[in-house]
Amino acid sequence: MDKPNLPSSLLSSSMLTADPRIARAKELLADALKEHSLKIDAIRPPNPDLVPEYQDSLSRLAVARGGAPYFPYMTSGIGNGPFVELGDGSVKLDFIVGIGVHGLGHSHPAMLDATIDAGLEDTVMQGNLQHNSGSLAMCERLLELANRQGAKLDHCLLSTSGAMANENSLKIAFHNRFPASRVICMDNCFAGRSLALAQLTDRPAYRAGLPKTLDVDFIPMFHPSDPEGTTTGAIETLKKLLARHPGEYACLWLELVAGEGGYYPGTKPYFEQLCKICHEHKVLIIFDEVQTFSRLSQAFAFQHFGLDAYADLVTLGKITQVCATLYGESLKPKGPVLSQTFTGATASIRCGLAVLDELESKQCFGADGWNMRRHRYFRSKLEALAQKHPGKICGPHGEGMMIAFTPGNGGADEAKDMLMRLYQLGLMGFLAGGNPTRIRFLPPPGVTTERHIDLACEIIEKALV
C-alpha cells in the first residue's frame, strides 16, 4: 500500500519501520493468518459442541447492549473474503459486511499489514489536536479522488461516523447560508441517527419521542416505473417549496442511490435539473455518499452520475473505515463551528488507505470495471430467478455493488422471514425500504467473485421454495 507520507529516514519512526524484525514479524503473522483463513472457504453449519457457549455469549451481549442484535451474529474473529466464521463454528457468506463496511471482506492481508503499521504508531486515535501522517494522506487521497472529473473540493474533515460527517456538512451549509435554516430531502431519505439527522430521515419511527430540531421538506424520488412523471413531480414540488419559503433553504440533501430507503437509483437528468434549480436559488447541494462511496462505476456516485459541477459538499464513510466531509474553499466556516477530539483511529485511517489502494488496483472502477461487471452478473442471475419463480421474487434493484430484490408481495413480514431463512441457510443480507420492503446486498467489492454470486443465488433459490 501507499505508505502515508513516511517521514524522513532520520526519524526514529522510520528506523522502527525499517527494522528487519518488523518485516520478519509481519511475514510470520501474514503466513499464520493465511494458513488459518484459507480453511474458511465454504458455508458451514454450527458445531453443536460450540452452540451452548455461543448462545450464552449472545444472551449476555443482549443484556449488556440493551437488546439482542438483529442477527444471532458474533464472529469468531476470522474469515476469508466474503466468508466469515461465527463463534458457533458456522461459516456465513457475508454479503452485507456490517452494512457496507468491510470492502475487502474478512481477514484480508492488506488490513493486517495496515493494522500492524498502525500498532507501531504512538497513539491509537487521531484528532484535531493529534494528527499523524495518515490523516494527511487520507485527506489528500480523498480530495484527489473527488476532484478527478472536475469537482472543486478543497478541504476534507475526517470523523468517526457517517452521522458526524453529515452533521459537519449541515453545519457548514447552515453557517454559509445563515439565516437560512431549512433543508430539502428526497422521500425515503436516510441520513443517520443524530437528533438533527433524524429529521432528514424519512422514517417517523426513527424520530419517535425525539424533539423537532430542524425544518425539513421532502420531494418525490425518481421511480423507474414513471421516469418522466416522477422527475416532473419532483421539480414542481421543489419549485413550490422554494416559492413558499424564499431564502429559507440552506441545502438540498441527496443520496444518489437511496440506500436504507430501498435501493432506488436516480438518473442524471433527474438530479441535474433539481441541482440546477437549487443553485439558481443559492441552495447548496450535499451528496451523502456514506453508503454509495466505492460501490458504483466511480469512487463517488456523483462522478458515476456526472454531477461533479454540483458537488458543494460531499460526505462519505463505511468502506473507508473513517468518515469524511469534503467541501470547497468558499464554504470554509468563518468561526470555530467544527472540531473533534477524535477524527479517526490510526488503524482505521491506515486500513481505509489500504482499502482504496486495493479497490483501485483491482480495477473496481470504470464503466466496465469490476463493480459494474459484477452488478450485471448478479442482476442477470436474479432476473433469471424472478422469471423462474414468478410472484416469489421480483427486481433486481440498485446499482453497482448495491443490489436488492423484493420477495413476494413486498410486505415487511415476508421480507423479514425470507431474510432469516437466508441467514439460516448461510447468506447474510439486510432489509431496505418500507413499502415494498426489499432484501439488499452490499457484497465486498474488493473480493467478491462470480463463484460467490452463484452461491448466493443458489441459497436465494433454496429460500424461495
Computed from CA positions of residues 195, 143, 356, 346, in that sequence, does the dihedral angle turn out positive or negative? negative
How many residues of this chain interact with ligand PLP, rule: CB under 6 A? Answer: 15
Q: By the 8 A CB rule, do 422 and 459 touch?
A: yes
> Least distance (Å) from ligand PLP to the CB of residue 258?
8
Residue 190 interacting with ligand PLP (CB under 6 A): yes
The answer to whether 290 contacts ligand PLP (rule: CB under 6 A) is yes
The answer to whether residue 192 forms part of the interface with ligand PLP (CB under 6 A) is yes
Considering the rule CB under 6 A, would residue 437 count as an interface residue with ligand PLP? no
Q: How far is the CB of 234 from ligand PLP (least distance, A)?
A: 19
Q: Are strands 313-316 and 284-289 parallel, antiparallel or unpaired?
A: parallel
Does 166 interact with ligand PLP (rule: CB under 6 A)?
A: yes
Should residue 96 be labelled a site residue for ligand PLP when binding is judged by CB under 6 A? no
> Which residue, 186 or 394, is less far from ligand PLP as judged by CB?
186
Rounded CA-CA distance 142/321 in Å is: 13
Task: Note the Cα 274 to chain centre separation in Å.
Answer: 24
* Residue 399 interacts with ligand PLP (CB under 6 A): yes or no: no
Q: Residue 107 has which C-alpha cell?
A: 481477514
Q: Which listed range, 118-126, 155-163, 339-347, 418-426, lies at the site for ligand PLP (CB under 6 A)?
A: 155-163
CB of 192 to ligand PLP, least distance (A): 4
Taking residues 12 to 31 in sequence order and writing x for each that binds ligand PLP by CB under 6 A, - otherwise, the string is --------------------
Is residue 317 near ligand PLP by the rule CB under 6 A?
yes
- Asked if 348 interacts with ligand PLP (CB under 6 A), we say no
Interface segment toward ligand PLP; rule CB under 6 A; list 28-36, 72-80, 242-250, 284-292: 284-292
| CB-based contact 83:449 (threshold 8 Å) | no
Interaction of residue 174 with ligand PLP, rule CB under 6 A: no
Tell me whether residue 161 or residue 232 sits nearer to ligand PLP (CB atom). Answer: 161
Told to check if 99 binds ligand PLP by CB under 6 A, we report yes
Which of the stretches 136-144, 187-195, 270-278, 364-372 binds ligand PLP when contact is defined by CB under 6 A?
187-195
Could you tell me the smallest distance in angstroms from the CB atom of residue 197 to ligand PLP?
7
The residue within the footprint of ligand PLP, chosen from 117, 255, 308, 358 (CB under 6 A), is 255
Which of 206-214, 287-295, 366-374, 396-404 is the region at the interface with ligand PLP (rule: CB under 6 A)?
287-295
Q: Near ligand PLP by CB under 6 A, which window of 11-19, 162-170, 244-252, 376-384?
A: 162-170
Place of cell 510470520: 28
Which residue's beta carbon is nearest to the bound ligand PLP? 162
Judged by CB under 6 A, which stretch of 21-29, 46-54, 189-197, 424-432 contacts ligand PLP?
A: 189-197
Give me the least distance between CB of 165 and ligand PLP, in Å please: 8
Residues that bind ligand PLP (CB under 6 A): 99, 161-163, 166, 190-192, 255, 259-260, 288, 290-291, 317
